[in-house]
A = this chain, B = another copy of it.
Amino acid sequence: MHELRKDPILNRWVAVLKDSKPPHYYLGKDIDHVERDTDCNKCILCRGKEDKTPQEIFAIREIGTPPNTPNWQTRVVPKPNPIFQIEGDLGRRGIGMYDKMNSIGANEIIVESPSHDTHPEDSGITQMINVMTTYKNRVSELEKDPRFRYTFIYKDCGKTAGELYHHPHSQVIATPVIPKGIKEELDGAKAYYYYKERCIYCDILSEELRTEERIIMETKNIIAFSPFAPRLPFEFWIVPKRHTCAFQDIHDDEMEDLSLILMTTIKKMRNLFKNPSYNYVLHTAPNRMPRKDHWHTLGEDFHWHMEVTPHLVTKSGFEWDSEFYILTTSPEDAAKHLKEV
């Protein structure tokens, strides 16, 4: 038996199996496990190979060392063969009944570790804070370009998650339009705000703290929990307790808590499913400059957060097309397993 649940932000219904499958059910299937890889001969992201990448845009490095030299902890470089070009104008135009524009935007690689096979969550909290600080720098910097409407930071880890390199990295994409998936989330949150005059994410946090059924981990500033109606089994969200629409407005103590929670929950997920492929994405407010006047509610209706999705199952054509997802483990059980491991 399943029950249907509605995601309150996107108004998306999902079916949740009442008799949840335990973690070993997924291990018996075809999970793509991320293997160790110590052969870094061809890797261009390793420390010491700074001349193999385009010139660095930002780095957290030993004070006083020049750019593009080895003494860095995290490093940001333009993506080779980028999807979006940094130079040029948008050139929006019609062609027959259709619309086109130039692919103007930014496409960067954030190298998360100097070492080829050491993930930042295995290096300890300082390196996780370095990675999050790098994210903050990129969102803050890219917001200044008036051609960009949105900055998207994400990590693809493992083959079925679409990873580009084995070397630990995330990617930055700044786009000249707000991507459809993000716009729906903003619109959903705005609709709730107009109705309730409250942020929907703040309300979700209150509800989750009240029932405690889906909470995986909590610190003073940040909560990790399984959402009520997720897309994928064992999906979880990481949300700050303080209402803030934009990730770049994060405080230092929140940054420490975020790093701790992301590090711990990723290790829990890796532990439970023997290093599965996974994605995580940062959902933050659209770039606020120079369109501050268009951001009607001054950021009161949106709340930055991260969404983490392990790849444990194959989607059917029904799920892919209808966005009606079938969950073989309830979020309550997923949270319990992730909490306890």
The smallest beta-carbon distance between A25 and chain B, in angstroms, is: 14
For residue A2, CB closer than 8 A to chain B, the reply is: yes
Contact between chains at B15 and A103 (CB < 8 Å): yes
- Given A154-B321, A307-B321, A322-B152, check contact A8 B280 (CB 8 Å): no
Per-residue CB contact flags for chain A residues 64-96 toward chain B (1 = under 8 Å, else 0) read 000000000000000000011100000000001
Q: Residue on B with the closest CB to A101? A: B4
Q: Which of A296-332 contact B (CB under 8 A)?
A: 307, 309, 314-324, 326
A98 close to B3 (CB less than 8 A): no
Q: How far is the CA of A204 from the CA of B97 in the complex (A)?
A: 8
Total copies of this chain within the assembly = 2
Instruction: Flag whether A5 is at the interface (Cβ < 8 A).
Output: yes
The reply to whether B98 and A6 form a contact with Cβ atoms under 8 Å apart is yes
- The reply to whether A324 and B97 contact each other, CB–CB distance below 8 Å, is no
Contact residues in B for A290 (Cβ distance below 8 Å): none
| B316 engages A156 (CB within 8 Å) | yes
Tell me whether B154 and A12 are in contact (CB under 8 A): no
A97 CB contacts on chain B under 8 angstroms: 8, 203-204, 207
Q: Which stretch (A119-127, A130-138, A168-176, A237-245) binds chain B? A: A168-176
Q: A99 on the interface (CB 8 Å rule)?
A: yes
Residue of B nearest to A326 (CB): B83
In the complex, what distance in Å separates the CA atom of A69 from the CA atom of B180?
49
Q: How far does the Cβ of A158 sit from chain B's closest Cβ, in whole Å?
A: 10
Instruction: Name the segment of A40-48, A54-62, A159-167 touching the other chain.
Output: A159-167
Given A155-B317, A228-B98, also A2-B207 (CB < 8 A):
no
Task: Report the bound CA distance from A175 to B171 in whole Å.
Answer: 37
The answer to whether residues A171 and B318 also contact, given A12-B180, A229-B98 and a CB cut-off of 8 A, is yes
A3 to B156, Cβ gap below 8 A? no
A220 within 8 A of B: no
Q: What is the minimal beta-carbon distance from A285 to any residue of chain B, in angstroms?
A: 15
Q: Given that A103-B15, A317-B155 are known contacts, is A323 also in contact with B180, CB under 8 Å in the complex?
A: yes
Query: A residues 1-52 with Cβ under 8 Å of B?
Result: 1-6, 8, 10-13, 15, 30
Q: How big is chain A's contact interface, by range?
A: 35 or more
A271: interface (CB < 8 Å):
no
Which of B152, B180, B283 contacts A13 (CB under 8 A)? B180
Say how far A279's CB is from chain B's closest CB, in angstroms. 3
Inter-subunit contact A1/B181 (CB<8 Å): no
Q: Is A191 at the interface (CB under 8 A from chain B)?
A: no
Centre residue among A2, A101, A210, A326 by max chain B CB count within 10 A:
A2
Residues of B within 8 A of A164 (CB): 316
A-B CB contact pairs (8 Å), 8 listed: A1-B103, A3-B102, A11-B180, A13-B175, A96-B207, A161-B317, A164-B316, A171-B318
Q: Which residues of A contact B (CB under 8 A)?
A: 1-6, 8, 10-13, 15, 30, 83-85, 96-103, 152, 154-156, 159-162, 164, 171, 173, 175-177, 179-182, 203-204, 207, 210-211, 228-229, 279-281, 283, 307, 309, 314-324, 326
CB-based closest 8 A-B pairs: A279-B317, A179-B322, A162-B316, A2-B103, A181-B323, A179-B324, A154-B317, A6-B99
